[in-house]
Structure 1
Amino acid sequence: MIKVSTSKTFVSPEKMPDQMKSAMRASALSMSRRVLLRDIAVLALGSVPSFSFAQHGGLGLVSPPVRLDDIQLVDQTGRTRLLNDLLRQNVTALQTVYTGCGTVCPLQGSLFSAVQQRMAGLRVRRPVRLLSVGIDPLSDSPAALHAWLARFDAGPAWNAATPALTDVDHMRASLSGSTTPLGALADHATQVYCFDANAMLRWRSADLPRVNDVCDVLGALALT
C-alpha cells in the first residue's frame, strides 16, 4: 500500500523563488492597505480631541464616496479653476482656512507643512497634492493666499484657492457631511478631507488630525 503524506512542506523564505517572494510582498502590501482603509474610521473616531470647532457629519471613511458640486475657485495665482479640475488625477488632502485667522489656521498650515515634508517618502502610483481652501472670499485674495502659502514654505504640490462668497457655506456643509447649521467663520472645522484621483471624497478626519494619520490615508488612496 502506498502511503500519501498530507503534511505541508515548509519552504523557508531564503529558498523561495524571487517571483514567489515578489508575489507574497505584493499580496501583503495590498492586504495591509485594505486593512488600513478599513481601520482608518476607527482610528479617527478614537482620536477626536476634547474640543470641537464645528459640527461634523460622519468621521473616518466616507461610504459611499461623495463628489462635491463643481464650483469655481480662484487660486493663489489669480487663475479661475473648477474644483474637480483641481482634484482630479491627484490624490488630494484638503483643508479649509482663512488667511486672517490667528488661532487655529496657523496650526493647520503647520500640519500641512509637516505632511508636505513626508509626501516625498510615500510609495504611490498617483500624485499626491495639498489644497488649502480659503473660506473668507472678502479677504482671501490671490495675494493673501500666496502669502499664506509662502509662510509655510509651500511647494508646487500645495495650492490654495477661494470659492465665491455664494458657494462658501454650501461647500463647507458638503465637506463636513453635517446637516446642522454651520457655526461662525472663526468656528470653522479644522478637519482634513482626503479625495481620491476621481475627485471623490473618501475620508474625513477629526479636528486637527495627526500628521501620520493624514499621510497614511493619502498613501493608501494613492496606491489604488
Structure 2
Amino acid sequence: MFFRPFSSARIVAAAVTMGALALFSDVGAQAHGDGHRMPDHLGMDEGNAEMAMRPDGFHYKRGHHAYAAPAVALRDRQGRKVDFADLMATDRPVLLNFIFTSCATICPVQSATFGQVQPDLAAIDPDYLMVSISIDPEYDTPRRLREYAELHDARDNWVMLTGQFDDIFAVVRAFDAVYKGENKMYHRPLTFLRANADARWLRLEGLLGAEELAEEYAKLLKPEVN
C-alpha cells in the first residue's frame, strides 16, 4: 500500500473524527410516530471484521456482509422514479453511502471523498456506480440533491436518491446503517462497496480519504493485490 501527502479533505476528516460524529435529530421519526423510528443498531459481526489504518493514524473497520436491497421506489435528483432493487441488480461495481444535504459534519467529508475519488475510480475501472441516499428525505428534494450534486461535481454515474420516509427507512434498515440513541439519531460514517451483483458488500466504517477509498475499490476488483 502506498500513501500520498495529506489532502485538505483528509485533514478535515481527521478533525471531524476528533470531534463528535454527526447527529441528526429524530424530528422525522417523531413526525411519523414511534413505529417508524430507526431500529437499534445491530452492530457488525465481530468475527467478520478487521481494522485498517489510515496514514494519519485513524482506524476504520472493514467487514463483508450480505445485504438484500429492498424493492422500494425512490427518486433521483431529476425527480425520476428509481426502483432501488433494480438499481442494485446491476453487475457494475457499486459504491454506496447515506448522507443528508443539511449535515454539517461527516456528510460533507464523505461527499467530498466521493467527489474527489471519481477520477481515481475511472482510472481503475470506469464502469462503476456511486449511490448516495438521503436519510432526510422530507428536506432533501430532488432540487436540493441537484444543488448538492453540483457542489460536489457529481458525474453522471453518481446517483443521488431521495423518496418517501418509509422507503428510505427500508433501505437504511436493510444496510444496518443507523442506530437509535436516547433522543438523537447518530448517523455513522459508513461506505459500502460491492464488486458485482453476486458479491457480498464490503462495509467500511470510518472516515476515509479519496486515496483510501480508491485503494479499497482497486482491491475489491483485483483481489490478487491483497
Match of 1:89 in 2: 91
Match of 2:214 in 1: 215
1:101 aligns with 2:100: no
Deviates more, 1:73-82 or 1:158-167: 158-167
The whole-number CA distance in structure 1 between the counterparts of 2:141 and 2:150 is 14
Please state whether the residue corresponding to 1:115 is helix, strand or coil.
helix
The whole-number CA distance in structure 1 between the counterparts of 2:94 and 2:184 is 23
Match of 1:57 in 2: 44
More strand by share: 2
User: Are the equivalent residues in 1 in contact too, given 2:64–2:203 (CA < 8 A)?
Assistant: yes
User: Are the equivalent residues in 2 in contact too, given 1:57–1:177 (CA < 8 A)?
Assistant: no
Identity of aligned residues (%): 19
AA partner of residue 110 (structure 1): A
The whole-number CA distance in structure 1 between the counterparts of 2:196 and 2:165 is 27
AA partner of residue 171 (structure 2): M
AA partner of residue 174 (structure 2): S
Residue 160 to residue 114, structure 1, CA distance change in 2 (3 Å)? same
Cα-Cα RMSD: 2.9
The whole-number CA distance in structure 1 between the counterparts of 2:153 and 2:174 is 29
C-alpha displacement at 1:195, in angstroms? 2.4
User: Are the equivalent residues in 1 in contact too, given 2:44–2:63 (CA < 8 A)?
Assistant: no
User: Are the equivalent residues in 1 in contact too, given 2:22–2:105 (CA < 8 A)?
Assistant: no
User: TM-score, normalising length from structure 1?
Assistant: 0.66
User: Are the equivalent residues in 1 in contact too, given 2:180–2:186 (CA < 8 A)?
Assistant: no
The whole-number CA distance in structure 1 between the counterparts of 2:194 and 2:119 is 19
Runs of 4+ in 1 over 3 A off after TM superposition: 49-56, 180-186, 220-224
Match of 1:160 in 2: 160
Residue 73 to residue 84, structure 1, CA distance change in 2 (3 Å)? same
The whole-number CA distance in structure 1 between the counterparts of 2:133 and 2:183 is 16
User: Are the equivalent residues in 2 in contact too, given 1:84–1:199 (CA < 8 A)?
Assistant: no
C-alpha displacement at 1:52, in angstroms? 5.1
AA partner of residue 203 (structure 2): R
User: Are the equivalent residues in 2 in contact too, given 1:135–1:163 (CA < 8 A)?
Assistant: no
Q: 5+ unaligned residues in a row in structure 1: which ranges? A: 1-48
Q: 5+ unaligned residues in a row in structure 2: which ranges? A: 1-16, 24-40, 46-60
User: Are the equivalent residues in 1 in contact too, given 2:21–2:106 (CA < 8 A)?
Assistant: no
User: TM-score, normalising length from structure 2?
Assistant: 0.65
Match of 2:127 in 1: 127
> Which residues in structure 2 correspond to 1:1-224 (within 5 Å)?
56-58=43-45, 59-63=61-65, 65-87=66-88, 88-122=90-124, 124=125, 127-176=127-176, 181=180, 187-198=186-197, 201-223=200-222
The whole-number CA distance in structure 1 between the counterparts of 2:94 and 2:176 is 16
Structure showing greater radius of gyration is 1
C-alpha displacement at 1:222, in angstroms? 3.7
Please state whether the residue corresponding to 1:66 is helix, strand or coil.
coil
AA partner of residue 108 (structure 1): Q
